Amino acid sequence: MTETLVATGYEPVGPVETPSGFSVEEVIVAGDRGPCGGVNMAVETAFEVLGIVAGREPVYTTHPIVHNKSIMEVLTDLGLIVESDINKIPVGSIRVMSAHTEDVEQTAISEERGMLNIDTGCLLVYKVQRAGLRAVKEGKHVIYVGTKKHPEPEGVLSVLPEGSYTFVDIDGDDQTLPHHGKVDFVSLNQTTLSTVGVVEKIKSLRELNPSLQIPDPEGICYATDNRQNAVRRRLEDQENPIHALLVVGSQTSHNSKELRNVGKNEAKIPSFLVDGPEDIDPLWFSPSIKRLMITSGASVLDEYLWRTVKYFTDRGTIVKFIPSTEKKPRINPETEEPVINSETGEVEYEERFFVGPDLTPLWERMAEKYGTTA
Q: Is residue 75 part of a domain?
A: yes
Percent helix, strand and coil across the chain, each rounded to 5? 35, 15, 50
| Residues 107, 145 within the same domain | no
Predicted pLDDT of residue 327: 66
> Which pLDDT tens digit goes with each residue over 39-55?
889 999 999 999 999 99
Whether 254 shows a pLDDT value over 50: the answer reads yes
Q: Is residue 106 part of a domain?
A: yes
Q: Is 29 exposed, middle or buried (0-12, 13-18, 19+ CB in 10 A)?
A: buried
| Residues 134, 115 within the same domain | no
Q: Which of 173, 191, 219 is the last residue of a domain?
A: 219
Q: Is 84 exposed, middle or buried (0-12, 13-18, 19+ CB in 10 A)?
A: exposed
pLDDT band for position 346 (50/70/90)? confident
Is the pLDDT higher at 163 or at 7? 163
| Residue 262 near residue 197, CB atoms below 8 Å | no
Predicted pLDDT of residue 6: 31
pLDDT band for position 15 (50/70/90)? very low
Task: List C-alpha distances in Å: 339 to 207, 219, 329, 354.
Answer: 36, 18, 7, 17
- What does pTM read for this prediction? 0.81
CATH assignment of the domain containing 8: 3.40.1010.20
Predicted pLDDT of residue 217: 84
Sign of the C-alpha dihedral, residues 337, 343, 346, 352? negative
pLDDT band for position 4 (50/70/90)? very low
Whether 312 shows a pLDDT value over 60: the answer reads yes
Whether 8 shows a pLDDT value over 50: the answer reads no
Active-site option among 57, 73, 102, 152: 152
Q: Is residue 61 part of a domain?
A: yes
| Residues 208, 140 within the same domain | yes
Range 16-34 average pLDDT: 76
Q: Is residue 244 part of a domain?
A: yes
β-pairing, 94-97 with 59-61? parallel
Contacting residues for 354 by C-beta, under 8 A, at least 6 apart: 37, 38, 40, 41, 122, 123
| Residues 276, 189 within the same domain | no
Domain assignment of residue 60, given as a range: 37-121
| Residues 96, 11 within the same domain | no
| Residue 228 near residue 259, CB atoms below 8 Å | yes
Sign of the C-alpha dihedral, residues 324, 330, 336, 339? negative
The number of folded domains in the chain is 3
**Catalytic-residue membership of 152:** yes
Q: Is residue 239 part of a domain?
A: yes
pLDDT band for position 1 (50/70/90)? very low
The Cα 22–Cα 28 span in angstroms is 17
Is the pLDDT higher at 213 or at 91? 91
Whether 19 shows a pLDDT value over 80: the answer reads no
| Residues 72, 163 within the same domain | no
Predicted pLDDT of residue 2: 37
Q: Is residue 370 part of a domain?
A: no
**Rounded (10°) CA dihedral 6, 21, 292, 259:** -140
| Residues 50, 17 within the same domain | no
> Which pLDDT tens digit goes with each residue over 193-246?
888 888 899 999 998 888 888 888 887 787 888 899 999 999 999 899 999 999
